[in-house]
Structure 1
Amino acid sequence: MNACTYFRLEVNILANRKDVAKLAGVSEATVSRVLNNIGPLREETKRKVLLAAEELNYHPNAIAQSFARGKSNNIGVIVPYLPKVNLMSTHYFSELLSGIGAKLGELGYGLLLLFQSPDAPKDYVQLFHSQKVDGCIILGSKNVPGELEALEKLQQLNLPYCLVNQTFSGYSLHSIDADHSSGSFQAVTSLLKKGFEHVIFLNGPTEYSNSIERLYGYEDALEKAGIHLNKELIFQGNYSRKSGVQAADYIAPLLPDFRAIYAANDRMAIGLMQALSEKGYQAGRDYALIGYDDSEISRMTSPPLSTVKVPLFDMGQLAAKKVLQLISKDSEEASTVRLPVTLIERASSLISRS
């Protein structure tokens, strides 16, 4: 797919660089150096050029300035292209992109949205070779063949990039993440403290590191409560609402004996809730349910969905800040920053075993 970005240019067609040079009494090359901040320059020369530009109301072309500096002033944000899925309508991507866009705009950079087919060969370096972007933020990365190799190339070449919500065990890469293990631990512990002896877990695909971390948190909560892990209570969806609906066929037969459920995101939890309702089971009455993400729709379900709040907007802002620091060479050490998450209890889980 093609990605587009838009520039808003303010150019005064009545004045040009030659006019500024003539008024300031300098060469056109000097005007270019002053306006692109390419030094060294005498302060008096800079003052004359800037005063002349102001008097003539001259505004240089933004694209021309970018080429002069060898930079695009754009940060590429790579997202997975999923047919029939409007990513912007999902809480996860819309919050991350809002955070990224807010921080980039604040610091004078544009956002270039780049869609990547899940089956396409991974080559993030070529984005820099084409000079489309000055840095990149990668959303939807996962542990599949070719992915780690492509990321290691970025790292080896010291190109500015940042992963969001994905890490690779044993590898040091630039990434912003959340403490998903803690989020799972909080959710499962909350259900166990209500007297439920077992918790059904609907997780996401294990090629995502956050799915593995949620599983660790689930297992840790059971272990600390002295409960044996029952793998027959662990199911896998793909983070879509549809996969939650499908999981209901396997989970419904278990409900008479196991009445606590934890889902790894709100979309799956809501799909599961809707499908179980059609089978005669009501969340908050017949079973307790906790989701994950704290999406806006989690407050609108009936009953409102308990969930784990993930600071996705803040994660997006930090990813943008990290990439810009790498561009300016203020930060080069690869590290993972994890933000805290918080359990929010609503009516879907406010029941006890009794």
Structure 2
Amino acid sequence: MPSNPGRATLATVAASAGVSVATVSKVLNGRSDVAPATRSLVQSLLLEQGYVPPSSRRDLAQATATVELGVDDLCAYSTEVIKGAVEAGAELGVAVVVTYTKDLAGVGGSWARDLVAAGRRAMITLMSAPTSAQLVALSKARLPVVVIDPLNLPDTGVTSVGATNFAGGLSATQHLLDLGHRRIAYLGGPATSTTNQARMHGYRAAMEAAGVPVPAEYVRTPGFCYPHGIEEGAILLDLHPAPTAIFAAGDESAMGAIQAARARGLRIPEDLSVVGFDDTEIATMTSPQLTTVRQPLREMGAVALRTALRLAAGEKIESNHIELATKLVVRGSTLAV
């Protein structure tokens, strides 16, 4: 019986037929100096075991090269990252298969093997990092993984791609300080999120450097989504004194805060200045357009794909964590006081 039924070789076919490797090679090459009965047996075993010549195997792998991209939340942010990965894949001749995995931890133990069997070269996850058990399964399957902007940092040995979140938080808050604001609130993502923590530390660093105290009630960390911005923005605006500016750690939560302000009759930016984070398409779809910190989202997707392919090819990666630069984009949602 073949030692590796998953990939037949000349040796495994020869062993099954009870002949030499040279005889199997002769059959493959159409040589006439093989007995008809032996030829028939070898040909049957080649078909049965699914033998593919090395050259054809390489061609097949190139033709079906795919990378899995697992996404647990389809929003404006993730859409931009996906576009970047898909566009880079098109340039490289690699297909990107996007899978919705709301709970990556819930998949079965055969998950990594199934991905390999389906022809995946590597896996990319967006925001959600694989669990320790899944990292072991991926390692056993020799399937490299790259995590984009993980909410919680995975094992230090896992390659990840993100942005300069601390610098982005610093620049957003400094912009509001430069406009004369001192009552600046922070509306962040989940408290345990590493991206949230980095942006919040940037906010706090700017406030501390300016000698401006931060009341505990001015820091809210519910999440990055629009409903979070509405709910927590309302809480911030009902404080006494209320903030004159809000730095939201996501464009969607910034839009929610703007909606909460308008529900209270406040004008943007005359009564409240708002800064977001991401610079997704929605930042330019509101009136006034949103001042925000731009993450190079498409480039993050492209870098993650290229890095995953490098790992799949056995190349050495210079750093396990890659950070791309952020940039403040000033639009109409902020105003001097």
Task: Give the alignment's TM-score, normalised by structure 1.
Answer: 0.73
Output the amino acid matched with 2:56. Answer: N
- The CA deviation string for residues 201-256 of structure 1, in whole angstroms up to 9 with x for no partner, is 10001333211111111111112112233221011232111111112320222375
Output the amino acid matched with 2:281. Answer: E
- The CA deviation string for residues 58-96 of structure 1, in whole angstroms up to 9 with x for no partner, is xxxx8xx24xx8x9511111111x6xxxx1xx3211111
Query: Is contact 1:293–1:309 with CA below 8 Å preserved after alignment?
Result: yes
2:56 aligned residue (28, 36, 40)? 36
The reply to whether residue 195 of structure 1 matches residue 196 of structure 2 is no
The CA distance in 2 between the partners of 1:284 and 1:121, in whole Å, is 44
User: Following TM superposition, by how much is the alpha carbon of 1:105 offset from its aligned partner in structure 2, in angstroms?
Assistant: 2.0
Partner-residue secondary structure (3-state), 1:304: coil
Aligned length: 288
Task: Give the alignment's TM-score, normalised by structure 2.
Answer: 0.77
Output the amino acid matched with 1:237. Answer: P
Change (3 A) 1:304 1:246: same
User: Following TM superposition, by how much is the alpha carbon of 1:129 offset from its aligned partner in structure 2, in angstroms?
Assistant: 4.6
Residue in 2 that maps onto 1:3: none
The reply to whether residue 159 of structure 1 matches residue 148 of structure 2 is no
Query: Is contact 1:128–1:135 with CA below 8 Å preserved after alignment?
Result: no
Partner-residue secondary structure (3-state), 2:88: helix
Alignment of 1:142-181 (within 5 A): 147-151=131-135, 154=138, 159-166=143-150, 168=153, 171-181=156-166
Residue in 1 that maps onto 2:65: 73
In structure 1, list runs of 5 or more residues that go unmatched: 1-25, 39-61
The reply to whether residue 138 of structure 1 matches residue 90 of structure 2 is no
Partner-residue secondary structure (3-state), 1:177: strand
Change (3 A) 1:186 1:148: farther
Residue in 2 that maps onto 1:292: 277
Partner-residue secondary structure (3-state), 2:238: helix
The CA distance in 2 between the partners of 1:169 and 1:100, in whole Å, is 21
RMSD, aligned α-carbons: 2.9
Report percent identity of matched pairs. Answer: 25
Query: Is contact 1:141–1:208 with CA below 8 Å preserved after alignment?
Result: no
Query: Is contact 1:172–1:334 with CA below 8 Å preserved after alignment?
Result: no
The CA distance in 1 between the partners of 2:109 and 2:93, in whole Å, is 23
Residue in 2 that maps onto 1:324: 309
Partner-residue secondary structure (3-state), 1:176: strand
Alignment of 1:302-313 (within 5 A): 302-313=287-298
The CA distance in 1 between the partners of 2:180 and 2:96, in whole Å, is 48
In structure 2, list runs of 5 or more residues that go unmatched: 1-28, 32-42, 44-51
Structure 1's consecutive aligned runs of 4 or more residues displaced over 6 angstroms after TM superposition are: none
The reply to whether residue 98 of structure 1 matches residue 83 of structure 2 is yes
Larger Cα-atom Rg? 2
User: Following TM superposition, by how much is the alpha carbon of 1:292 offset from its aligned partner in structure 2, in angstroms?
Assistant: 0.8
User: Following TM superposition, by how much is the alpha carbon of 1:286 offset from its aligned partner in structure 2, in angstroms?
Assistant: 0.2
The CA distance in 2 between the partners of 1:76 and 1:309, in whole Å, is 26
Residue in 1 that maps onto 2:10: none
Query: Is contact 1:99–1:314 with CA below 8 Å preserved after alignment?
Result: yes
Residue in 2 that maps onto 1:247: 232
Structure 1 stretch displaced more, 262-271 or 149-158: 149-158
Structure 1 stretch displaced more, 153-162 or 256-265: 153-162
Change (3 A) 1:283 1:117: same
